Amino acid sequence: MIARHDHMLSRRQFLTTATLAAGAVAGIAPARAAAGLRVATLDWAILETLLAIGANVVAGTELLQFRDVAVTPAVPAGIADLGLRGTPNLEVLYAAKPELIFNSNFYAWADDRMRLIAPVESHAVYQPGASPYQLSEQMTLALGDRLERSAGRTLVDMTRAKLETYGRQFAKGDRRPILPINLGDARHVRVFGSDSMFGEVLKRTGLANAWPDLTSYSATAPVGIEQLATMPDAWIVLIPPHPADAFAELQKSAFWQALPAVQAGRVLVLGSINPYGALPAAERFADLLAEGLTHAWNG
């Protein structure tokens, strides 16, 4: 389902808007949770992977925000919310009675305290000089093996196959480069380079990233929107979440309206995606991008 924001954008300004309802085009159907080790995590990339392979997750962090930002996989109602990732509530974690805690390099400072509750095993998806996609595959297989869930291998194989399919689909399109950005305010954006998860999805589907620089596995520090004028042939792909007031103000900007991509209708607004996600986030980005580009090319 594609929701058009016609009250905000003219047809010429935005050829298509791919803001999608939660899970509308996501190909991930979380494996049915089975009896198994009770597991918990502070890290969202690990959380979405555990949910996708049907692990018995009993606790995670910032679950309300996770539902809004990551959207998929769905979070079962019975999972305990540990609060902020930076200051998790360890009393709630203890009460959830996990038998195993998965952690990442981002929250390694909590390992010693959490080991008083349950054994801790760590996995890194985002680290300088490494491919987040490859590390996500390694983590997914490791989690599947550890929890004796074949859904880990299934998720890896399914995601690879889907990206290959989209690659063949994109090869029939206009072959323009893609500029994936997140809006900071009406004058600044964050750009995802080739070494980000979004950049890796572009590469694996045969699409060029219009941003020429690496971004240390994430996004650049905010850059002025005037930088977008240096890439006149690109598709601009906005990836929420972003401030609603900034988005509305951006559309009133004379500079924004004058950008070649905006004038030509080459702007897509995707649904919200976790920029520091794992394979489920990669698949969601690929699904939403394919939906938006296909609609635009055939529109």
Q: What is the mean pLDDT of residues 204-208?
A: 97
Average pLDDT over residues 105-124: 96
CA distance 220 to 130: 17
User: Tokens for 59?
Assistant: 């606790």
d(CA 208, CA 88): 39
Higher pLDDT, 227 or 216: 227
Which CATH class for the 174-298 domain?
alpha beta
Summarize pLDDT for 124-156 with one digit per residue, the tens: 999 888 999 999 999 999 999 999 999 999 999
User: Rounded mean pLDDT of 17-38?
Assistant: 51
- What's the mean per-residue pLDDT of the chain? 87
Locate the domains of the chain by residue range.
Answer: 38-159, 174-298
Banded pLDDT at 248 (limits 50, 70, 90): confident
pLDDT, mean of residues 238-263: 89
b vs e for 53-73, b when ≥16 Cβ sit within 10 Å of the residue's Cβ?
bbbbbbbbbbbeebeebbbbb
pLDDT at 289 over 80: yes
Which fold, 38-159?
A: Rossmann fold (3.40.50)
Confidence grade of residue 34 (pLDDT, cut at 50, 70, 90): low
Q: Residue 17 pLDDT more than 50?
A: no
Secondary structure letter of residue 3 according to DSSP:
B
pLDDT at residue number 250 = 87
CA separation for the pair 280, 161 (Å, rounded): 14
Instruction: Look up the pTM and report it.
Output: 0.88
Query: Does 207 have pLDDT greater than 60?
Result: yes
Q: Give pLDDT, residue 200.
A: 95
pLDDT digits (tens, 9 = 90+) for 162-175: 999 999 999 999 99
